[in-house]
Amino acid sequence: MIIITGGAGMIGSIIAWHLNTKLDRDDLVIVDHITHEAQWQNLVHRHYIEYLDRDQLFDFIEDNDEVDAIIHMGAISATTERDFNKLVEANIHYSQDLWGWCTENKVPFFYASSAATYGDGSAGYDDANIDNLRPLNGYGYSKHFFDQWVLRQTPENSPPSWAGFKFFNVYGPNEHHKERMASVAFHTFNQFTETGTMKLFRGTKTGIKDGEQQRDFVYVKDCAAIVAHFFQHKSANGIYNVGTGQARSFKDLSENVMKSMGKTPHITYIDMPEDLRGKYQYFTEANMTKLRAAGYSTPSTSLEDGVKDYVQNYLMKSDAYC
């Protein structure tokens, strides 16, 4: 069996989709702690053998010796989370406990890190060297701490196969529950449908025009395919960027959403909220060299193709869930 923590979340549920549809695996155990009233809908199309609350997982695995891998996507993922004690418990200690169990029981372990670990990008976006990173918020630091902790473990104190994935700006199906933390693609579709325009931030930083803040937008189906590749092929242990290697502007993303809806784009520019100033990434772009060297050669989905699939095959459908 394959255990997916955060399996009712966006990336976790799409990993389950990939395992169901591409690898014909339905022996999945979904672990999560659902708090949003509609999040269960991320699971309605999935085939799996058990659902567990996150607090039930350790009792469950102690009684099961047929675990093929733990894919650990569960975390507090809100960059605005203020309670650092919660981040420590959910994003560090829980992950360390799973790492320890996988080490002791010789089970492969794959986990979600984040591009938020790179902070403002002044130290670059190279996954081969993470020592000098300075995250901008507690969430990013909690992920960075665990990455550093992992790299200090000896082979004897590590699972037989493991990888951490620094996901960049993920968009795609099954993110309805994320509310403010949902992608700009999701917000564009809803705002434009309701108001006829999409609000983007003004430049607010020297040299950056309105709406021209750039991120490495990666389609969630690509993220799932990369995780599945490591599960299948047991590539070199390490921490890997998961992006496209090409930064695009929020304006590009929003305009592509509106065009995919068959509409003429319309954007309104607004000031950035105070709680984001000084904690905002104006540019991200994944260095993909290490991932390619590890044997993953599938080209990234283009922004145009990813947005078109997301909008036309999910957001515009009566059943928008993958």
Dihedral, CA of residue 56, residue 57, residue 59 and residue 62, to nearest 10: 170
CB-side neighbour CA atoms (13 Å) of 45:
16
- Please give the share of the chain, as a percent, with pLDDT higher than 70: 99
Domains and CATH numbers, the chain: 2-172+218-246+282-301 (3.40.50.720)
For 262, phi then psi, to 5°, come to: 80, 25
How far is Cα 128 from Cα 108, in angstroms, rounded to an integer?
21
Contacts 24+ apart (CB under 8 A), 313-317: 314/172, 314/173, 315/186, 315/189, 316/261
pLDDT for the residue numbered 79: 79
pLDDT for the residue numbered 67: 97
Active-site residue flag, 321: no
Tokens of 210: 């309105």
User: With the C-alpha atoms ordered 19, 24, 29, 35, is the resulting torsion angle positive or negative?
Assistant: positive
Q: What is the pTM of this model?
A: 0.95
pLDDT for the residue numbered 281: 80
pLDDT for the residue numbered 276: 75
pLDDT for the residue numbered 241: 98
Tokens of 268: 């309104």
Q: How far is CA 177 from CA 1, 10, 143, in A?
A: 27, 9, 21
pLDDT for the residue numbered 243: 98
From 86, 178, 205, 259, the catalytic residue: 178
How far is Cα 172 from Cα 260, in angstroms, rounded to an integer?
14
Neighbour-count burial for 198-226, b at 16+ CB within 10 Å, e otherwise: bebbeeeeeebebbbbbbbbbbbbbbbbb
Instruction: For the chain, 322 residues long, give each residue's pLDDT as a single digit of tens.
Output: 999 999 999 999 999 999 999 999 999 999 999 999 999 999 999 999 999 999 999 999 998 889 999 999 999 887 778 899 999 999 999 999 999 999 999 999 999 999 999 999 999 999 998 989 999 999 999 999 999 999 999 999 999 999 999 999 999 999 999 998 899 999 999 999 999 999 999 987 767 899 999 999 999 999 999 999 999 998 899 999 999 999 999 999 999 999 999 999 999 999 988 777 777 788 999 999 999 999 999 999 999 999 999 999 999 999 999 9
Which residue bears the tokens 């360390």? 96
pLDDT for the residue numbered 234: 80
From 48, 139, 219, 314, the catalytic residue: 139
Active-site residue flag, 166: no
